[in-house]
Amino acid sequence: MAEHKRFGASFKMEDPEQAQAWRILSAYPPRQRMAALSHMVCGYRTQQEQLECIRKTILEAFQIQADNCTAHGRAEGIDDDVLGFLSALQQGDDVF
Residue 4's SS3 state is coil
DSSP one-letter string for 10-76: ---TTSHHHHHHHHHHHTS-GGGHHHHHHHHHHHHHHHHHHHHHHHHHHHHHHHHHHHHHHHTT-GG
pTM score > 0.85 for this model?
no
Q: What string of pLDDT tens digits covers the 96 residues of the chain?
A: 789 888 888 999 999 999 999 999 999 999 999 999 999 999 999 999 999 999 888 888 877 666 666 655 555 555 666 667 777 776 766 655
Residue type at 10? Answer: S
Q: Which residues contact 92 (CB under 8 A, 6 or more apart)?
A: 55
